[in-house]
Amino acid sequence: MGVLEVLTEIISPVRCAGCGLPGLALCPACSATAPLIDPQRSCQRCGAPLQGRECSECAGRTFAFSRAICAGRLEPPLSRAVTFYKDAAERRYASLLGALLAEACECWRGWPDVVCALPPTRTALLRRGFDHTDAIARFVASGLDVPQASLLLVAVRDDQRQLGRDARFANVAGAFTVPQDAVVPRHILVVDDVLTTGATFDGAARALRAAGAVEVRVAAVARA
């Protein structure tokens, strides 16, 4: 920790996303109640927690990515950590969210050639002032001992938080592009903070596969 970080911690310590206690991004008590998804009991295709054998979330839908993992559900304290991190620019939550996702992706060790963060749109980047997904992807890449690819995907469309499910899928066709001179690895793991319908990941996977990727898998910290 540098001098500036030490001073920041003294003046304004990081607070638990669950109970607000100063000192840790998630205290041990709140960590025990975090709504994590067991990868062994979740749908391989969309990452939803499974109730029975069949997944009701993704039945009848096709994705350009082959598999998905979500570390947890978008419920407190995880949802609060995500909000503090991306909307209140509390960047000290990056290590908590990154570590949670890195741990969830551990079962894919040896599979990806690279980890790639979903790039923010220009509007989102200007609004937040930082690339919130990039830091999370860094933890996943280092956890899996693979490089993090930058500049592999470029966002060309604006975000679609206001759109419904069908409109989201229609809107993501062409939402991402792969630069002409990019070297596209065969197996790519794409990372984002939240998976809602899977439409954004689908758009990214479609662009990567069109550019030559053999298989794309996706991972999100939380599932809405």
Determine which residue in the list 16, 71, 101, 195 makes contact with Zn ion, applying CB under 5 A: 16
Which of the stretches 21-29, 83-91, 105-113, 213-221 binds Zn ion when contact is defined by CB under 5 A? 21-29
Which CB sits closer to Zn ion, 155 or 201? Answer: 201
19 binds Zn ion per the rule CB under 5 A:
yes
Least separation, in Å, of the C-beta of 70 and Zn ion?
A: 10
Least separation, in Å, of the C-beta of 46 and Zn ion?
A: 3
Which CB sits closer to Zn ion, 65 or 176? Answer: 65
Task: Considering only residues 104 through 133, tell me which ones interact with Zn ion, judged by CB under 5 A.
Answer: none
Long-range contact pairs involving 6-13 (C-beta distance under 8 Å, separation at least 24): none
Query: What is the per-residue binding string for Zn ion in 31-70, x denoting contact by CB under 5 A?
Result: ------------x-xx-x------x-xx------------
30 binds Zn ion per the rule CB under 5 A:
yes
Give the footprint of Zn ion on this chain (CB under 5 A).
Answer: 16, 18-19, 27, 30, 43, 45-46, 48, 55, 57-58
